[in-house]
Amino acid sequence: MKNLRAAFMALLAILASTTAAAQMPTARPEAVGMSSERLLRVDAFVARMQLEGKLAGAVTAVARRGQVVSLEAHGLADIETQRAMRPDDIFQIQSMSKPIAVVAVLILLEEGRFLLSDRVAKFLPEFRDMKVAVAKADAPDGFVLVPAQRGITIHDLLTHRAGLAGVPTSNTPAEVQQRVALQALRANGDFTLEQFVRTLAVTPLDSQPGSIFKYGPSADVLGRLVEVVSGRSIAEFLFERVFQPLGMKDTSFVVPADKHARVVSAYARSADKGLVKLQPYPLAPRFQSTGGNLFSTAADYLRFCQMLLNGGELDGRRLLSRKSVELMTARHIESFPLSFRAGQHVGLGVAVRTVSGDSGLLGSPGAYGWNGGYNTYFCIDPQEKLILIFMPQQQFLPPDLELQSGFHNTVMQAIVD
């Protein structure tokens, strides 16, 4: 009986510490050098976007010097039912999954499981002997295949220079081949990350590895790499090595049935119909995409960002060394070759602000972050020790940055000390 009681008390202690870990300390804005009055401009901006029919609702979060100064729900989570947004609502974060995938890769790098210069085919042999599709007008199919000059490296994947087709698009032969192959895969029903990556590997490359930036499915190949190297599914690895240690209790590829009511509806803008609800994402997909189908909350993602801002550690749990975070935010490509990321250079899974003012954003050189296809957005400003997170579910059509940049600037202007 004594042993049973001791085990029960130990379990209570674990549960208590887990609950405590999931909560970041809070403070009044003035206690961390921000203005409460100026932060009201965030609310006013989001309200104006709603009135103009550009947004149904959002959750916003701001933390400075390790303390949360604002976690607010705005507007509606669902227009049709008029359900009000809640601070703990769950969002499809799409490409904000990518920085999480990079952290998983860096965890394995720190364990000496590979080098970033290693060829991907060392772990994923389906990427051996890749061919590049080169347009040739007089060829039977309009293109010819030439051998890749070298194998794809892990670093190529991390910097979107693996040669895979992506954005910017130009309807090249490789783009067409990749699109057709992936459409056929989707038409056959549910598929796994492994099947997705194998399909990519049998289509030709769009360019020679290491030569051209194309924002595409590289992060999904990284997810499969993590699976093969770790011997765990990507969902298991992320839960065990990232989400559980950080207390990210609502972040996963699969939303449990008891949380379905907290999932926010996604919308697109229509010139004649206003906001139109989009087809909902599957809440239990077989394809677990590190490129874009994690679900999360503003509070959970805030903890992930605070870990990065702290140099890889949160609440005594270290995921990465400070040097790995520095590598993540280093200048891997001089400037971002996407118009909506002007004034920023390419890090690993993030865009990093340069010293120029070309970004048009308030903030500091070295600030970094990324966004998702539903206008979800985060930025970490190490100089200001500031994190800002914007969680709507409003389709992002680049280069339209009104929602993300408007939110960003209304937070930054609230810094007074």
Which residues carry out catalysis? 95
Q: Would you list the DSSP string of 248-308?
A: -TT-BSS--GGGGGGBPPPEEEETTTEEEEPPPPPSS-SS--TTT--EE-HHHHHHHHHHH
**CA-wise closest residue to 74 among 89, 62, 88, 60:** 60
Is residue 157 within 8 A of residue 200, CB to CB? The reply is no
Element (H, E) at 351: strand 351-353
The residue type at 216: G
8 Å CB contact between 52 and 277 = no
Q: State the CB neighbour count (10 A cutoff) for residue 105.
A: 26
The tokens of 2 are what? 């004594």
Assigned token pair, 282: 């599957």
Query: 67-78 and 91-92 as β-strands: parallel, antiparallel, unpaired?
Result: unpaired
DSSP SS3 for 56 = coil
**What is the edge-to-edge ordering of all strands in the sheet holding 351-353?**
83-84, 67-78, 57-64, 386-391, 377-381, 368-371, 351-353, 344-346
Q: How far apart are CA 263 and CA 91, in angstroms?
A: 6
Residue type at 265 in one-letter notation: S
Residues in a beta bridge with 70 = 62
Integer CA distances (angstroms), 123 to 128, 207, 209, 220, 268, in order: 10, 22, 17, 14, 39
CA geometry: angle 391, 375, 252, nearest 5 deg: 55
Report which of 36, 95, 100, 78 is spatially closest to residue 340, judged by C-alpha positions. Answer: 95
How many CA atoms are closer than 13 Å to the CA of 310, on its beta-carbon side? 20
